[in-house]
Structure 1
Amino acid sequence: MHRSAETSLEDQAVDIRIQMIQLGWDTLTSVPKSRAGERSVTLDEATTRVLQEWRTRQNKERLAAGPDWNESGLVFTHPDGTGLRPSWVSEEFARIAARAGLPPIRLHDLRHGAASLSLAAGVDVKVVSAELGHSTTAFTQDTYQSVFPRVAREAAEATAGLLSGDAARQA
């Protein structure tokens, strides 16, 4: 959950400067674990549109709450502006995934999936590493790079293409 002042939908970016953690029943705000953890994450157009729609909804909730609105500055809040408890967000995600018929998956596992898909799509590992807030690309590759069957097939075809008659004559 990020403070709205650090969300620039016009620039399609979210600046990560704080993190919310839950210790027992208490929710605490702290800085990311490392300097690399403080970063900007670039958003795609579809995600930006969803967040713009959410901002519009939140503004309507702010008006409806009037003086009872809690100005937390958070992007994701209850209708009165109070922050969402991290454990509630994780539990709600698990309920949504179960209703969708998905296997059990933690909210944090989406990070692994997004990183693996980005790498499989050919996004440079340096870009993925920066988006994840890693200090080295080696950690990103060791942790997140998975070989998808389609990517493995493309690699096999590209390698075989080098050995084909046309490629051999051009060499």
Structure 2
Amino acid sequence: MFSRENGRAIDPNYLTHRFHKLVMAGGLPPVRLHDLRHGAATLALAAGADLRVVQGLLGHAIIVLTADTYTSVLPQQDHDSARATARLVLKAGRKTARKVNNARTGT
């Protein structure tokens, strides 16, 4: 909900219309005002915000709504997650190899 300086509510239809005009005037691709909410949630999570914090910011009672509806995974997050997983697997593999070698040599 948005309000004027005097506290009166701004009609949602007016706000949507005004936003659309600003998007068009700025030469931006089509975007709905509500899409900014999705983007803000996604960017907050990408920046490291806890999902519960984002849930609170959006005013959701159920965290599943926040996670399933208002967030999406950015390509860089996919890449970072894959690299972190690969590091863990390689680290565990090296640790296991050392144990096997130590067991063979009796050290």
Q: Which amino acid aligns with 2:67?
A: Q
Does structure 1 conserve the Cα–Cα contact (< 8 Å) formed by 2:45 and 2:54? yes
Aligned to 2:102: none
The alignment-based identity, stated in percent, is 46
Aligned to 2:67: 141
Matches within 5 A, 1:30-109: 72-74=6-8, 84-109=10-35
Aligned to 2:38: 112
Does structure 2 conserve the Cα–Cα contact (< 8 Å) formed by 1:120 and 1:146? no
Aligned to 2:89: 163
Give the match's secondary structure for 1:108: helix
| Structure with more contact order per residue of length (Cα contacts < 8 Å, sep ≥ 6) | 1
TM-score, scaled relative to structure 1:
0.49
Q: Deviations over 1:85-123 (max 9, x none)?
A: 432221111111112222211111111111111122221
Bigger radius of gyration, 1 or 2? 2
Does structure 1 conserve the Cα–Cα contact (< 8 Å) formed by 2:37 and 2:70? no
CA 1:170–1:98 in 2, change beyond 3 Å: closer, same or farther?
farther
Q: Deviations over 1:112-162 (max 9, x none)?
A: 111111122221111101111101111110112211111100001101111
Aligned to 2:103: none
Q: Deviations over 1:42-100 (max 9, x none)?
A: xxxxxxxxxxxxxxxxxxxxxxxxxxxxxx335xxxxxxxx644322211111111122
Cα root mean square deviation, aligned: 2.1
Does structure 1 conserve the Cα–Cα contact (< 8 Å) formed by 2:3 and 2:10? no
TM-score, scaled relative to structure 2:
0.74
Higher-helix-fraction structure: 2
Higher-strand-fraction structure: 1
Q: Which amino acid aligns with 1:73?
A: G
Separation in structure 2 between the aligned mates of residue 3 and residue 95 of structure 1, nearest angstrom: 19
